[in-house]
């Protein structure tokens, strides 16, 4: 009886050991197990998208006239430059883990990058032109983060996508409010480089 008991205990211990090893192997601890090609597509395409926003914001730092636009430009340069670094690190990490580059599935016309940022260098009524270009650009970023939320798997990138969504939704609301405060349709009239309205 004692011998049988020892055999049963040994068998149970062996089963538990195998189960434990199985948990380690399937825990998803490796980067490749917790990511997919959509994640790499997001990291790469959002890097390019952020670079475009930073380029626009750097022009606004020089040409913006209102305190709001200058503050917004400073925030975009600071936060999105840091996010570009994170996105590049993530892309390198996933590449090293053997994750291929897939498709984010967001059409180009929905990414808000149809306008040429360089046109801001000579834009009249600069503040309004900047906001009118940055709003759809932010909306395009949200389309991209939505795709990452829905189809991506990498925890770090999904967390970053949520951060981007929250920040850019807030900034879109602020930009629209600023345009409304400045007169909405009135701002469509002739203005000079400082946003001062010319008599009609």
Domain presence at residue 131 = yes
**Long-range contact list for 1-10, CB < 8 A, 24+ apart?**
none
For 46-93, the pLDDT digits (tens) are: 999 999 999 999 999 999 999 999 999 999 999 999 999 999 999 999
Q: Which residue has the tokens 């480089």?
A: 193
**Which secondary-structure segment (H or E) carries 58?**
helix 37-63
CA pair distance 121, 134, nearest whole angstrom? 14
Residue 174 pLDDT > 80:
yes
For the chain, the average pLDDT equals 82
CATH of the domain at 72: 1.20.1260.10
Domain presence at residue 17 = no
For 87-115, the pLDDT digits (tens) are: 999 999 999 999 999 999 999 889 988 87
Q: What pLDDT is recorded for position 196?
A: 40
Count of domains observed in the chain: 1
Domain presence at residue 11 = no
Q: What pLDDT is recorded for position 30?
A: 57
Lowest mean per-residue pLDDT among 29-38, 40-49, 69-78, 169-178: 29-38
Q: What pLDDT is recorded for position 155?
A: 96
Residue 181's pLDDT band (boundaries 50, 70, 90)? confident
Q: Which residue has the tokens 């599935």?
A: 105
Coil, strand or helix at 154: coil
Domain presence at residue 197 = no
Residue 34's pLDDT band (boundaries 50, 70, 90)? confident
Q: Which residue has the tokens 């600069």?
A: 126
Coil, strand or helix at 197: strand
Mutual orientation of helices 126-151 and 155-181 as an angle, nearest 10°? 150
* Tokens read off for 75: 């925030």
Domain presence at residue 9 = no
Contacts with 65 (C-beta within 8 Å, 6 or more apart), sequence order: 126, 127, 193, 194, 195
Domain presence at residue 4 = no
Contacts with 88 (C-beta within 8 Å, 6 or more apart), sequence order: 43, 47
Strand ranges (E), the chain? none
Domain presence at residue 59 = yes
Domain coverage including residue 124: 32-97+117-185
Strand ranges (E), 60-169? none
Domain presence at residue 193 = no
Output 13 or 64, whichever has higher pLDDT: 64
Residue 182's pLDDT band (boundaries 50, 70, 90)? confident
∠ CA 156-79-95, rounded to 5°: 35
């Amino acid at each position: 009886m004692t011998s049988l008991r020892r055999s049963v205990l040994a068998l149970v211990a062996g089963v538990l050991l195998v189960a434990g090893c199985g948990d380690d192997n399937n825990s998803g601890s490796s980067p490749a197990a917790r990511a997919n090609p959509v994640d790499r597509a997001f990291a790469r395409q959002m890097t390019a998208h952020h670079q475009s926003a930073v380029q626009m914001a750097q022009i606004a730092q020089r040409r913006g006239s209102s305190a709001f636009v200058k503050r917004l430009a400073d925030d975009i340069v600071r936060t999105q430059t840091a996010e570009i670094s994170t996105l590049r690190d993530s892309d390198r990490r996933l590449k090293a883990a053997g994750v291929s580059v897939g498709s984010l599935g967001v059409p180009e016309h929905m990414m808000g990058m149809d306008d040429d940022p360089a046109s801001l260098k000579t834009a009249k009524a600069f503040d309004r032109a900047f906001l009118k270009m940055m709003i759809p650009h932010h909306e395009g970023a949200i389309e991209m983060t939505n795709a990452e939320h829905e189809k991506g798997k990498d925890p770090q990138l999904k967390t970053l996508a949520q951060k981007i969504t929250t920040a850019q939704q807030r900034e879109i609301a602020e930009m629209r409010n600023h345009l409304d405060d400045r007169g909405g349709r009135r701002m469509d009239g002739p203005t000079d480089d400082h946003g001062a309205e010319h008599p009609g």
